Structure 1
Amino acid sequence: MQTKINNVIEHRTVRCFRNFRESEIIESVASEIRVALIYNGVSHTVMMASPADLECFAIGFTLSERIVDKVTEIKSIDVEPNDKGVLIYIEITNRCFMALKDQRRNMAGRTGCGLCGVAQLEHAVKPTIRVKNNKIFNINLLPNVLEQLPRVQTMFNITGATHAAMSLSERGDIISSYEDIGRHIALDKLIGSYSKNKSITPTAILLTSRASFEMVQKSASANIEIIFAISAATSLAIELAEKSNITLVGFCRNNRATIYTHPHRITSEKLNTLDIMEPGRKQAY
């Protein structure tokens, strides 16, 4: 018997105001569940995640963690909810499964730190992948992207408890957006979505969180060339982005941005009349 798990749960709370006035209300909170990833019948890890788009998460995680090299090496995915969470059964090719068995990782309960629970330190840092050099993004389109955030962050608007990862077109439009309580899981869902649909790699991605080492490492695995982050980048993220040929941009808010690495992909050309006249578009840099 399958159990339906909602993304948002209503919870009775007491809200306190200034001067200690209290009011009992029903608050919407983000659902957090245990998600077990099982490869070829062998349990690999348990993650804490939001229950939406779990097939995309399974694909993205399997690719970004380099358990497989390409999506065709994933033979099947079965998502089975139960009263304790969700079991995801992933069948991969024998070659990939044998390689996984040689590098078993124990990452139970990872929600924020991408390196927590790694059995050996050397397994935390995978071989560097250098991405291609095909994408260009006009920084003057970024304000339009940021204006679209309230429209695509539906779970955040209700609960205030989720991060989002979104793909951007070269015109500054949000192509797709995925939310989760874990920022790295939101990115996995995004990677899994366009890998599953075999669509073209986006011009850039936008993260509503900081840019950490793992976010850059996952992006490199997916050949993402440009990363925009609302918050700062960490030192290891900058170091890896430099080595991976990724353009990493942080503090993307309040009409500013900090380009940490490979600035050649970022242009600042004046927008043409059509772009400026479109609703929500404006030049701010």
Structure 2
Amino acid sequence: MQTANKQIFVTSISDHGSHEKSDWVAMEEPLEIRLEYGSFDNRVVQNVAVTMRTPGNDFELAAGFLFTEGIVKNAADIKNIEHCFIACAENKTNVIQVSLQEGIIPYLANASRNFYTTSSCGVCGKGSIAAIRTVSAFTSIDMELKIPADLLYQFPDILSTHQEVFKSTGGLHASALFNLHGEITFVREDVGRHNALDKLIGAALLEQSLPLNQSILLLSGRASFELVQKAAMAGIQIIAAVGAPSSLAIELADEFGITLAGFLRGNRFNIYTAPQRILIPTHE
């Protein structure tokens, strides 16, 4: 059984001295994603990526990764997903294989992180904004979608009540989807920001819920280029982040007409792009 955290013993130091105590830390293990594709009598298995992740929701992570990287177009491309047993591996659940339907050719040229990805997002991301527009089927801009500003205020507190592993470890990122009534619909956690979002979008993909153009994405940390890229792939129109956005994330959001908000803390936040979707109350 996969576990998302583990108990360790640490030395706690403070002004009052030091003492030994038990603590919980978030698990981080590698996951190798393999892809099987081709005709019935000529199947090919190719290693696509090795990512550092928190164990759990691996099927969603693999599906979300393949979709947000443009390697598969929809859930119908996927025949099945399974963990592989590797004789020399300590944990047989650290290799996963995604089999595509016969005749489906994956767009491996679209992936720019084919070999190793870190959970800290240090080496992942697309080479250009133009590449995303080429592979995404959900890039239409809907400026009719509008939400009141105070709807966003409550999101971080709602998310915190759903972060089970974070409560015990304090070491995980989270991505959450809210509907237009402010109700949370999906939450996924991981040590890596991009993994959490891949799991989230993968869950929506496997449930045939794409595009997510009627959902609001909440990021528990900063909004980076690769996270906005993944949101754009899934058709998300509004992104709110607890932390700051990067300059390239703002550029990408602006390019795709995505409303990007940052520093969502308490009853305040900044809007960086497409502000017309946020209804701001007027005080006379």
Would you say same fold, with TM above 0.5?
Answer: yes
Partners of 2:242 and 2:216 lie apart in 1 by 14
Partners of 1:191 and 1:160 lie apart in 2 by 23
**Cα distance change of structure 1 residues 102 and 65 upon mapping to structure 2, 3 Å threshold:** closer
Structure 1 residue 22: Cα displacement: 1.1
What stretches of structure 1 move > 6 A for 4+ residues in a row? none
Structure 1 residue 91: Cα displacement: 1.3
Aligned residues: 263
- Aligned partners of 1:106 and 1:117 also within 8 Å: no
The one-character-per-residue Cα deviations of 1:32-86 (angstroms, maximum 9, x if unpaired) are 1110000112111100001111111111111111101111111211124752461
> Where do 5+ consecutive residues of structure 1 fail to align?
271-285
2:226 alignment partner in structure 1: 214
Partners of 1:142 and 1:99 lie apart in 2 by 36
Which TM-score applies when normalising by structure 1? Answer: 0.84
Answer with 190-199 or 227-236: which moved more.
Answer: 190-199
Match of 1:75 among 68, 75, 79: 79
**Cα distance change of structure 1 residues 80 and 27 upon mapping to structure 2, 3 Å threshold:** farther
Letter in 2 for 1:176: F
Q: How does 1:127-138 map to 2 (within 5 A)?
A: 127-128=132-133, 130-133=139-142, 135-138=145-148
Partners of 1:98 and 1:175 lie apart in 2 by 30
Q: 3-state DSSP class of the match of 2:154? A: helix
- Aligned partners of 2:176 and 2:188 also within 8 Å: yes
Question: C-alpha root-mean-square deviation of aligned residues, in Å?
Answer: 2.4
Partners of 1:87 and 1:29 lie apart in 2 by 23
Which TM-score applies when normalising by structure 2? Answer: 0.85
Partners of 2:251 and 2:56 lie apart in 1 by 32
The one-character-per-residue Cα deviations of 1:150-199 (angstroms, maximum 9, x if unpaired) are 21111111100001000011111211211000011101111111111123
Indicate yes or no: 2:274 matched with 1:262. yes
- Aligned partners of 1:131 and 1:220 also within 8 Å: no
**Cα distance change of structure 1 residues 233 and 96 upon mapping to structure 2, 3 Å threshold:** farther
Letter in 1 for 2:266: N
Answer with 201-210 or 158-167: which moved more.
Answer: 201-210
Letter in 2 for 1:100: L
Structure 1 residue 96: Cα displacement: 5.2
Letter in 2 for 1:110: T
Q: 3-state DSSP class of the match of 2:72? A: coil
**Cα distance change of structure 1 residues 158 and 223 upon mapping to structure 2, 3 Å threshold:** same
The one-character-per-residue Cα deviations of 1:95-127 (angstroms, maximum 9, x if unpaired) are 65453168674341421226x178xx8478623
Indicate yes or no: 2:225 matched with 1:228. no
2:14 alignment partner in structure 1: 17
The one-character-per-residue Cα deviations of 1:8-28 (angstroms, maximum 9, x if unpaired) are 101111111115x11111111
Indicate yes or no: 2:166 matched with 1:170. no
Q: 3-state DSSP class of the match of 1:78? A: strand
Structure 1 residue 237: Cα displacement: 0.3
Partners of 2:110 and 2:195 lie apart in 1 by 24
**Cα distance change of structure 1 residues 103 and 208 upon mapping to structure 2, 3 Å threshold:** closer
Q: How does 1:21-32 map to 2 (within 5 A)?
A: 21-32=17-28
**Cα distance change of structure 1 residues 169 and 98 upon mapping to structure 2, 3 Å threshold:** closer
2:35 alignment partner in structure 1: 39
Identity across matched positions, percent: 32
Letter in 1 for 2:245: A
2:118 alignment partner in structure 1: 110
**Cα distance change of structure 1 residues 131 and 218 upon mapping to structure 2, 3 Å threshold:** farther
